[in-house]
Amino acid sequence: MQKKIVEFTNILRKAGLRVSVSESIDAFQALDEMPLGQRELFKDALRTTMVKRSDDIDSYDRLFDLFWSGFHDQLRQELEGALGAMGGDFDLEQLMEQLQEMLENMDVDLSALAQALLSMDASQLEQLIQDAAEDVDLENIRNMLQIGFFSRRMLEGRDLEGAQGELRSLMEMLREQGMSEEELGKLGELLQAVSEALRRAVRQYTERELDKQNHDYMERFRRESLQEKSFYNLTEEDLRRMRDVVTRLAQKLKNVVTMRRRRERRGKFDIKQTVRRNMAHGGVPFELVFRQRRKEKPKLVILCDISSSVANVSRFFLQFAYQLSEIFTKIRSFVFVAELGEVTEVFRDRDVFDAIDIALDGGDRINPYTRSNFGMAFEIFWRDFLASLDKRTTVVVIGDARNNYNDPKAWCLRDVHNKAKNLIWINPESPGAWGFGDSVMDKYLPHTDVAEECRNLKQLSRLVDHLIL
């Protein structure tokens, strides 16, 4: 039992649950005080000792059912299904008695798999499947595309084709011993059905193992798919689920930055000061000295085009930015279509998701339903807010630069660029479209440090990384 508990603990850890050695010991001690025959009590005892966070309870329950629910019952159901497919006029008991009598008078040497198929022994078949899984290292399965591969290797490892060949040869011997063609036909049909049941059972076993080793694979697959889905094609359901994906990515970026800044604060090893300080120890470096270097947090200014063509880019960038707010000294947010208005206080007073919805509706500051005019928005920012920029400020512009043939007033962006630390432009259009039609992106490009296409979350997360380097 201890070996099974350790194996189950490893499954939980692989799924992301934090189960320490001390908690495993607690589980062993709890099991010593209770009867193992009561499944629900057993489940509750392990949950109490191994699960620390309420968010992990669902994962624990799912993995417990996968790990501790026997595969034997599932295999037996497959064998019973094979028998049920034979029809109501089939007398299995009579056929098996006749087969046993004939085999006693024959010199037949069958493999373990052929014997298990012939006797429909669920216990023996289960053991053979488990042995095959160990031989092919099934615990290394990682995704759904590998289910067929591992299932085929398990069947090949136990030589199912060879076992079926042995059973066909046996049927020829039974024909020579006098078994009727009708009975041989029924036996052949039964063995074929049992072989197919075995194939299904092996695949089910492989699927169960995938669930055990990667129980959240489908959820992770959906998250990864969302990261590459174009903002233009998002449904309402996608938008809802994207919130969770962005939150996870933001937390990951925040962890990276925290580690990076911790190293920066420590500084580089200073060999001269180390030697000087350790002269009293005969030159033995008991005390290490590092060059202290503290990097100040940057300021962030966001200018969001909230016209419909870029609304989703703005939505998810704002979520990113405000969930990374600890990384910046200050974040100021502005929205525009033609006029420009500040919505920083909306984020200060409200939940980030509510604030984003209000900001993308203009925040009672501007008319969101007018025609785009980047030149007007930049001139307003230049006139009213240029003085607030300094060499610690990163300016991010989100927009497609479709200016409806108005004056782009690129000189305003030039002055913003000259005064800020750097200027990043996020554009949902392909670079091949920049500067064509009413796009004035080519006029703005000389005044940017980074200007990249961004039409999905994966591209957006890379751009966010520019802010925290």
Q: Which of 37, 68, 99 is the last residue of a domain?
A: 68
145 and 176 together in one domain: yes
47 and 81 together in one domain: no
Any idea which of 208-217, 305-314, 320-329, 363-372 has the lowest mean pLDDT?
208-217
pLDDT at 402: 92
Backbone φ and ψ for 322, nearest 5 degrees, come out as -80, -20
Higher-confidence position of 240 and 198: 198
Give which of 22, 71, 12, 3 is closest to 47, Cα–Cα.
12
- Residue 139 domain flag: yes
**Range(s) of the domain holding residue 376:** 297-467
- Residue 63 domain flag: yes
- CA gyration radius for the chain? 34
- Check pLDDT > 70 for residue 377: yes
- Residue 431 domain flag: yes
328 and 373 together in one domain: yes
Confidence of residue 448 (pLDDT cuts 50, 70, 90): very high
The widest CA-to-CA distance across the chain, in whole angstroms, is: 104
206 and 79 together in one domain: yes
Average pLDDT value over all residues in the chain: 82
Q: Do the Cβ atoms of 242 and 226 come closer than 8 Å?
A: yes
323 and 419 together in one domain: yes
Residue 342, SS3 per DSSP: strand
Q: Which of 34, 53, 68 is the last residue of a domain?
A: 68
44-66: pLDDT as tens digits: 888 888 888 777 787 788 777 77
Q: Do the Cβ atoms of 106 and 173 come closer than 8 Å?
A: yes
- Residue 31 domain flag: yes
Backbone φ and ψ for 196, nearest 5 degrees, come out as -65, -35
Confidence of residue 286 (pLDDT cuts 50, 70, 90): confident
Q: Is 426 left (phi over 0), alpha (psi -120 to 50) or beta?
A: beta
What pTM did the predictor assign? 0.55
pLDDT at 469: 58
pLDDT at 13: 79
47 and 93 together in one domain: no
- Check pLDDT > 60 for residue 88: no
Two tokens, residue 119: 């006797």
Residue 451, SS3 per DSSP: strand
Higher-confidence position of 449 and 467: 449
DSSP 429: S
Question: In angstroms, rounded to a whole number, what is the distance separating the alpha carbons of residues 285 and 192?
Answer: 76
Higher-confidence position of 327 and 268: 327
Neighbouring residues of 396: CB distance < 8 A, sequence distance ≥ 6: 300, 301, 302, 303, 317, 321, 423, 424, 425, 426, 467
64 and 75 together in one domain: no
Residue 396, SS3 per DSSP: strand
DSSP 138: G
179-205: pLDDT as tens digits: 888 878 888 888 888 888 889 889 988
150 and 181 together in one domain: yes
Residue 409, SS3 per DSSP: coil
Residue 53, SS3 per DSSP: coil
Q: CATH no. for residue 377?
A: 3.40.50.410
Two tokens, residue 144: 């759904």
- Residue 280 domain flag: no
Question: In angstroms, rounded to a whole number, what is the distance separating the alpha carbons of residues 429 and 451?
Answer: 11
308 and 433 together in one domain: yes
Q: How many domains does the chain have?
A: 3
pLDDT at 27: 80
Q: Is 61 left (phi over 0), alpha (psi -120 to 50) or beta?
A: alpha
Question: In angstroms, rounded to a whole number, what is the distance separating the alpha carbons of residues 386 and 400?
Answer: 22
pLDDT at 91: 66
- Check pLDDT > 90 for residue 468: no
pLDDT at 223: 67
pLDDT at 293: 58
- Residue 345 domain flag: yes
Two tokens, residue 383: 């006139």
pLDDT at 416: 96
Question: In angstroms, rounded to a whole number, what is the distance separating the alpha carbons of residues 399 and 308?
Answer: 10
The amino acid at residue 205 is Y
- Check pLDDT > 90 for residue 168: no
Two tokens, residue 191: 């063995």
Residue 297, SS3 per DSSP: coil
Backbone φ and ψ for 450, nearest 5 degrees, come out as -135, 130
- Residue 224 domain flag: no
Over residues 133-142, mean pLDDT: 86
Instruction: Specify the pairing of strand 393-398 against strand 422-427.
Output: parallel
15 and 119 together in one domain: no
12 and 128 together in one domain: no
Q: Is 104 left (phi over 0), alpha (psi -120 to 50) or beta?
A: alpha
Two tokens, residue 99: 């087969």
pLDDT at 236: 77
Neighbouring residues of 352: CB distance < 8 A, sequence distance ≥ 6: 318, 319, 322, 323
pLDDT at 379: 96
- Check pLDDT > 90 for residue 17: no
Give which of 192, 202, 208, 206 is closest to 158, Cα–Cα.
202
Residue 81, SS3 per DSSP: helix
Instruction: Specify the pairing of strand 330-336 against strand 450-453.
Output: unpaired
Over residues 205-226, mean pLDDT: 72
In angstroms, the Cα distances linking 409 to 186, 200, 282 are: 87, 68, 68
Over residues 296-318, mean pLDDT: 84
pLDDT at 259: 65
Confidence of residue 449 (pLDDT cuts 50, 70, 90): very high
* % of the chain exceeding 90 in pLDDT: 20
34 and 142 together in one domain: no
Over residues 268-289, mean pLDDT: 78
- Check pLDDT > 70 for residue 217: no
In angstroms, the Cα distances linking 347 to 51, 110, 292, 456 are: 35, 74, 35, 24
- Check pLDDT > 80 for residue 267: no
Q: Which of 196, 215, 234 is the last residue of a domain?
A: 215
- Residue 45 domain flag: yes
Over residues 424-438, mean pLDDT: 91
Q: Do the Cβ atoms of 344 and 333 come closer than 8 Å?
A: yes
Higher-confidence position of 135 and 110: 135
Over residues 132-148, mean pLDDT: 86
Q: Do the Cβ atoms of 375 and 407 come closer than 8 Å?
A: yes
Q: Do the Cβ atoms of 426 and 460 come closer than 8 Å?
A: yes
pLDDT at 275: 81
